Amino acid sequence: MNSTVKDDLERSKEAPVTRPAPESPWASRAFSLFEQRMLSAERPFPCIFGVDATHRGTLSHSFIPAGRERIPALSAALRDYSSRCRDLGARTSLVAFFEPDESIETMDGYKREFWRLLNGVSAGDSEPWPAGIDTETESSEWEFSCFGMSFFVVANTPLHKSRSSRYFEYFTITFQPRFVFDNLNPDTPTGKNARKIIRARLADYDSVPAHPQLGGFGKPGNREWVQYFIGDDNVPVPDSEKCPFAMSAGRRTQTGDTEMAGPEFTQAGPRGIQQDLIDLIPSQGSVELQHDQPGKVFGWHRHNLDEELFIMSGDVTLFWVGADGGYRERHCEAGACIRLPANTVHGSTAGGGGAYYIIRPQGGKTAVTTFLEKSEWPYPVAAPALDLPLQATGDRAVSSST
């Protein structure tokens, strides 16, 4: 066994470095559970380097509040950690624990939140993209980067069950600097030994096999971003699904090239913006403010991206085709939030007073909306309450339309 791997294993048996516990109750509990998990002798955690870092005291921890301060707090933690992580040695990571958010109830919800956070951090970062890290997310040499440092990122959620290595009582994101893996190339003896030990532990720890898309950085066909947030099953992410990360506009590589990932926003005049709208703007991209006249009906259609709709005033009745193929509908008033999965066949009718609502497509991107031909409608659509046109057919690309 390579001496580096052997030393890490031996050190994992030593008493850990004592660290002060955080003050808030939820953070204190998260910290305690994490320490117990990483230091368990009865059920060794698969990542021997994470266990070693826990013993060394070279892990950094951050406790991120819920609400609007979430992205600023994570950005501040990553900025600070990026400035000092090399001084902590080759076995280090930043473990960010997140205060529970009751609005996130599903695995897809956690996945959306994960990418929202990474995009939010990137949007506030003006430092050059690290040399040697590709800016194209589908490249085998792409890695999430911020504040001049590149990271392999791992998400844990309370909803992972079969894949215990990705389970934690609190939503957690671990940021591992790329330099941690410098001497662990899978083609080297050290890398092969480490991979063998970790995979063996993983097989004992999880009740499902290792995900088929786990791969090595820089290897042909590898997609790093797929490995960041792995679900509880082994269904591969299709090649057609692209990374939700959008490099913030204006970020420069260290060669000086400008990378544009989406719209740039400038203020046209001294107009105020309501805080509600600011809160709903994604970290990069745009939202649509939609106004429907009283009784306005949109016939059956679908979007290629997940969307969130926020009813600002008035009311809307959303109708859709359920998973069982049956007809569903729900009346939504001001204050309602509708989360609409991509490719859901649906339509809507505005109430008697019309409706204003904001549509936030996945990743702030432009959604493609496809209206079904009337002959393809799964169910009839009620005629408008007023003498207004019924939009029924035609394909178009819009920021969003429901």
pLDDT in tens, 154-192: 999 999 999 999 999 999 999 999 998 887 666 666 667
Q: Are residues 305 and 194 in the same domain?
A: no
Q: Are residues 221 and 290 in the same domain?
A: no
What's the CATH number where 380 sits? 2.60.120.10
Q: Are residues 87 and 224 in the same domain?
A: yes
| Other beta carbons within 10 Å of 317 | 16
Residue span of the structural domain in which 388 resides: 276-397
Residue 13: pLDDT band by 50, 70, 90 thresholds? very low
For residue 19, pLDDT beyond 60: no
Does residue 269 belong to any structural domain of this protein? no
Does residue 39 belong to any structural domain of this protein? yes
Q: Are residues 113 and 223 in the same domain?
A: yes
User: Which contiguous run of DSSP H or E holds residue 51?
Assistant: helix 48-56
Using an 8 Å Cβ cutoff, are 315 and 353 in contact?
Answer: yes
pLDDT average, residue stretch 284-300: 85
Does residue 103 belong to any structural domain of this protein? yes
Q: What percent of the chain has pLDDT over 70?
A: 79
Q: Are residues 87 and 156 in the same domain?
A: yes
Residue of 47, 305, 340, 69 lying closest to 200 (CA atoms) = 47
**Residue appearing with tokens 């339309």:** 401
Q: Considering 189, 208, 228, which residue would you say is the last residue of a domain?
A: 228
Using an 8 Å Cβ cutoff, are 189 and 6 in contact?
Answer: no
Does residue 346 belong to any structural domain of this protein? yes
Rounded Cα gap, residues 29 and 24, in angstroms: 9
Strands 390-391 and 297-303: parallel
Strands 346-361 and 172-177: unpaired
Q: Considering 202, 228, 254, which residue would you say is the last residue of a domain?
A: 228
Q: Are residues 109 and 29 in the same domain?
A: yes
Q: Are residues 206 and 308 in the same domain?
A: no
Q: Are residues 211 and 322 in the same domain?
A: no
Q: Are residues 287 and 204 in the same domain?
A: no
Does residue 13 belong to any structural domain of this protein? yes
Q: Are residues 213 and 287 in the same domain?
A: no
What per-residue confidence (pLDDT) applies to 72? 93
Domain count, the chain: 2
For residue 390, pLDDT beyond 70: no
Q: Which residues contact 193 (CB under 8 A, 6 or more apart)?
A: 1, 2, 5
Q: Are residues 307 and 202 in the same domain?
A: no
Residue of 353, 306, 402, 369 lying closest to 111 (CA atoms) = 306
Q: Are residues 282 and 349 in the same domain?
A: yes
Rounded Cα gap, residues 135 and 120, in angstroms: 17
Does residue 207 belong to any structural domain of this protein? yes
Q: Considering 194, 228, 262, which residue would you say is the last residue of a domain?
A: 228
Does residue 265 belong to any structural domain of this protein? no
Does residue 264 belong to any structural domain of this protein? no
